[in-house]
Every structure is written in structure tokens, then in C-alpha cells.
Amino acid sequence: MLAITLLVLCAVGTQALDNGLARTPPMGWLIWERFRCNTNCKLDPNNCVSEKLVKEMADRMVEDGYKDVGYEYVNLDDCWSDKERDAQGRLQADPDRFPSGIKSLADYIHSRGLKMGIYGDYGTKTCAGYPGSLGHLQTDAQTFADWGIDMLKLDGCNSNVTTMKKGYPEMTKYLNATGRPILFSCSWPDYERAAKIPINYTLVADNCNIWRNYDDINDSWGSITGIIDYYDKTQDTLVPAAGPGHFNDPDMIVVGDQGINVNQANAQMAMWSIFAAPLLMSNDLRNIQPVYRDILQNKEVIRINQDPAGKMGKRVLTLGPKVDVWLRHLNPWETYAIVFLSQDTRPRTVSLKLEQLGLTYGFGYQLRDVINHKFIGYWTPGESHNYTMPATGVLMIYAYGNE
């Protein structure tokens, strides 16, 4: 009897996110890294945070092939709103930069077959000083649902971090209550990490579809490797937290921006795919070189990212200075993604037996280079082979058990 009562109490107490979203990592575009809080439309009409910019990105996503390979969300970030709430206490868009309002922008994005994301903050103000949701969580959840929003990133600036374990799940409850499936992106664990508060990833995964754990990305190789190194150090905690419906978010994809080269761009896509991470590009899709577009649209890499088992990969070996091997188990059994990641500034070759990675299937594996779209070979677990990585880049392999 006691057990049943406890079970019922637990069930009542659980307000887990039940939107059915993010069964595989979400893909889309997010304004922040590339366009920041550029609100000066007089000076820079084509690049300021505005409905015009967002519509242009939605158009590019459809017309330039991104939607066809799976990119779906078109997301605002900070600095979209007015500095004041409206007379009913609701958030409202900046009237000069979003003259048609957010609902109409969401309608436009939906009419293109895409989904729309928005940004809020759990504290009194957003990181850039716009109105926060503290004391308005329920109203804001309802407003976003009324507008037809499909994803919410809830940041954590200007708040008491010790209350997040209660406050973020409260927002989960309000989002559930709207009845609209809204993918919930939480910045909560990142703020707890920074405040040295222990992170309960079970609770996070119960309440959020994706969550940030580390510093903001910027358009540089140093920033990308900083994030990879953090994921490496904490993988024993992060890997078990991820799965269909709930994924770690190492932040935006900066491929197509101006700070990283082709090898580094392939490396970011490869590593974010090993991580089972969201692929949220932050770039200017109106102005992107074909080589970067091809990297963003590499179907073989995206297929690994979107593997239905939703398992996050991990570093399994370090082979000398600055060369690591990462492995992600894919569906079905005996199918893997392997990434040889080199942070060296010259090309490197290493020698390895597949069995060193735990690939011991007796009939051997077929190996494909998914970046250069080439068959590599059919190798058994005990043979030594050479693997070459470009300078600051990856060799990424799809390995499947020989039938």
C-alpha cells in the first residue's frame, strides 16, 4: 500500500517535459553568434536583428537546400523585444525592427515549412538587458504559444542561480500546460557550472530538450577546441545524460563564418555529430562560400548526427600529442562513427587496430570516409592501418559490420 501511495505521489510530483520533440538533435539556424545584439538598423539595415533579417534567412534555408537536409528551426536570440512589457504585462517585439510582430513572423516561417524559435531569460533581465521572465514565466509561456513559437531558449542572466533547480522545471510545467509542443532549450546547467553548484543532469534531462553546459562559442578554432576539451573532461557525466528527447548543447555551429578554415569547419561538424549535438548554424546564409555550404549540407555527417539511437559518443583513445580518437555507437549494432581529431597545426598520421577502439566484430568492418565521400576499406579488428588527419582537422569514418 505504502509503495503504491509513494508511486502515485511521485507520478503527481513529476512534471517532466512531455512534448515529444527532439527525438534526434534539433537542426536549424540561430541568430546570435553571427549577428549578436545589432539593433542599429539605420546604420546597418541588412544585418540588424529584425524581421527582415530573419525572413531572409528562412528564405535561404528553403531555397539553398538547408531545409532539404534537415535544418528546420529559425531562431531569434536576445534583443528582439521591446524594453518594456505591454499594458497586459506581456512581452512585445521592438516595434521598429519587428513592425509586423512575432506572430506574423512565425506565420511567415511556418508558411515556408519551417519552425520558429525565440529567446527569453529566467532572471529579471536578459543578458543584454531586455525584460526577463522572472515573475512572468506563465504569461511568457502562454504568449510564446499564442504566437506559434516552436522552440524557446531560456537563458539565465540576472537571476539567483540557486533557484534554477525549481524555476526551470516550473517553466517546463507552464510550457506543457500551453498544449503547444515547444522545444525547450535550457541554459541552466551552464549557470550552475559557472556558480560551482552541482548539476543534476537527470533533473535537467527530465525538464529540457537541450541544454547548454559551457561557455558561449565564438567564431574561432580556439573557442571550438575549448568546448571540445570541456566535453572531453566531463564526458562521464555528459554521455549518460543524453538520449532521444534530451541532448547536451555545445552551442552554435560557426561553419560559414569568417574565423575558421575548411579543415576546422569539417572538424566542428564531425565533433558536434559525435556529441549528438544540436546543429544550430549561426552564420549569414545570404553570403556563404559553396565549400562551407557543402560542409553544412554533408548528408553523410548529418546522418550520423541524426542517428535514431541518439547516443552521445566519447573519446576512447589519445594517440600522442594533440590526437584523440572519438567513437559514437550508432544504430544498428556494430555500426559506429569514428573521429580522429588532430589539434596539431601540421598533418598527422597514426597507426591503429580497430580492436583498440573496442571494435571486435569477427567478420570485420567496412569503412567510409564521410567527409571526402570515399570508401576506405574492409578491415578486420586485429589489422594495423594508418589514419591521416589534416592540420587542425579530422578524419571521420562510418564503420559498419561486414555481413
Chain residues binding ligand GLA by CB under 6 A are 32, 77-78, 126-128, 155, 187, 216
Q: Tell me the sheet residues that pair with 249.
A: 212
Closest CA to 191 of 170, 152, 224, 165: 165
Task: Identify which of residues 188 and 340 has a Cβ nearer to ligand GLA in the complex.
Answer: 188
| Residue 78 C-beta: closest distance to ligand GLA, Å | 3
| Residue 289 C-beta: closest distance to ligand GLA, Å | 25
| Residue 386 C-beta: closest distance to ligand GLA, Å | 40
Task: Identify which of residues 154 and 341 has a Cβ nearer to ligand GLA in the complex.
Answer: 154
- Known catalytic membership, residue 150: no
Task: Identify which of residues 168 and 379 has a Cβ nearer to ligand GLA in the complex.
Answer: 168
| Residue 131 C-beta: closest distance to ligand GLA, Å | 13
| Residue 16 C-beta: closest distance to ligand GLA, Å | 24
Q: Are strands 365-369 and 393-401 parallel, antiparallel or unpaired?
A: antiparallel
Residue 266 and residue 392: Cα distance in Å, rounded?
10
Does residue 154 contact residue 164 with C-beta atoms inside 8 Å?
no
| Residue 161 C-beta: closest distance to ligand GLA, Å | 14
Task: State the DSSP H helix or E strand holding residue 121, giving kind and residue range, or none if neither.
Answer: strand 115-121
Q: Are strands 365-369 and 374-379 parallel, antiparallel or unpaired?
A: antiparallel
> ∠ CA(267), CA(271), CA(274), 5° rounding?
145
Closest CA to 188 of 216, 218, 210: 210
Closest CA to 178 of 141, 134, 140: 141
Q: What is the chain's percent helix, strand, coil content, to nearest 5?
A: 35, 25, 45
Does residue 227 contact residue 248 with C-beta atoms inside 8 Å?
no
Task: Identify which of residues 187 and 306 has a Cβ nearer to ligand GLA in the complex.
Answer: 187
Give the three cell numbers for residue 227. 568546448
Task: Identify which of residues 234 and 356 has a Cβ nearer to ligand GLA in the complex.
Answer: 234
CA distances from 317 to 341, 344, 358, 385 (A): 11, 16, 10, 16
| Residue 242 C-beta: closest distance to ligand GLA, Å | 19
- Known catalytic membership, residue 64: no
Give the three cell numbers for residue 324. 584523440
| Residue 326 C-beta: closest distance to ligand GLA, Å | 25
Task: Identify which of residues 38 and 356 has a Cβ nearer to ligand GLA in the complex.
Answer: 38
Task: Identify which of residues 137 and 304 has a Cβ nearer to ligand GLA in the complex.
Answer: 137
Residue 196 and residue 73: Cα distance in Å, rounded?
32
Does residue 292 contact residue 358 with C-beta atoms inside 8 Å?
no
Closest CA to 281 of 39, 57, 111: 57
The residues near 202 (Cβ < 8 Å, ≥ 6 apart) are 241
Query: Three-state SS for 125?
Result: strand
Task: Identify which of residues 61 and 154 has a Cβ nearer to ligand GLA in the complex.
Answer: 154
CA distances from 403 to 163, 363, 378, 383 (A): 53, 7, 11, 18
Q: Select which of 59, 107, 216, 344 is catalytic.
A: 216
CA distances from 155 to 72, 139, 258 (A): 21, 17, 26
Q: Select which of 155, 219, 249, 307 is catalytic.
A: 155
List, by residue number, the catalytic residues.
155, 216
